[in-house]
Amino acid sequence: MIRSLPTWPAACLRRVAPLLCCVTFGCGEPDPSPCCVAAAAAQPPEADPAGAAPAGVRSGTADDAADDSVFLVDVPWQDQRGAPRRLVEFAGKPVVISMIVTHCQYACPRLVVDMQKIEAGLDLADRDRVHFVLVSMDDVRDTPPQLAAFAAEYGLTALRWTLLHGSAGDVQLFNAVLGGRYKRTPSGDFAHSNLVVVLNPEGQIVHRQEGLDLAPNASLVVLKSLLATRPSTATDSAVR
């Protein structure tokens, strides 16, 4: 049985942002593992200039999101094409989401591979019924062109994958809502949680996969359960 994990009502998110950032950055707790720092040797525990949507894009609306939905974190993003995006556009199908830094040489490539294992574990007919989202923590270097180059390097098709760039404050808020932690180091690298999150079609957090190089089984069980309760439609293959 899928169990909804704690989330915050959308109306309160802006109000509690300072508290969320306190949780994110520690407030006396140890820093996250320096997974993107080149010197870290220890293993962790485990543009489209016009902004036009591509053919086939279908956006969700606030009516598609639950009251405690992550999608209602209503801050602006840019995708890998440079197009403006809102999280609520992903409402209506399950979403697998993680936060990365494209210049990371250690953990982030492995997080992407872990998500690709989830994608590959779905039946061919179901892959277009799930969307995969990568949100960059690096608001300076991970511009839309850099995100597009990263997507091309890893073979992330825009049909199922969206990469997002946002402001530092919005990234901090969203990271806290997902339950992650990250911190920019003096060198400009990042220490961060290794987290893959599954959202239901209403944007509620229903599963967290924590660690690296993990088997996709648990995430696949959750996704297949979500898909079994939602009939396939002709628009499932549209980019959200």
pLDDT, tens only, 132-178: 999 999 999 999 999 999 999 999 999 999 999 999 999 989 988 99
For 9-43, the pLDDT digits (tens) are 444 444 334 334 333 333 333 345 555 543 333 33
**DSSP class per residue in the chain:** ---PPP---HHHHTTTHHHHHHHHH-TTSPPPP-TT-TT--SPP----TT-PPPTT-----GGGS-TT-GGG----EEETTS-EE-GGGGTTS-EEEEEE-TT-SSHHHHHHHHHHHHHHHS-HHHHTTSEEEEEES-TTT--HHHHHHHHHHTT--TTTEEEEE--HHHHHHHHHHHT--EEE-TTS-EEE--EEEEE-TT--EEEEEESSS--SHHHHHHHHHHHHTS---GGGGS--
pTM of the model: 0.74
Instruction: Specify the CATH number for 10-49+57-231; select among 3.30.465.10, 3.20.20.70, 3.40.30.10, 3.40.1190.20.
Output: 3.40.30.10
pLDDT exceeds cutoff 90 at 215:
yes
Confidence of residue 191 (pLDDT cuts 50, 70, 90): confident
Predicted confidence (pLDDT) per residue in 92-124, tens digit: 999 999 999 999 888 999 999 999 999 999 999
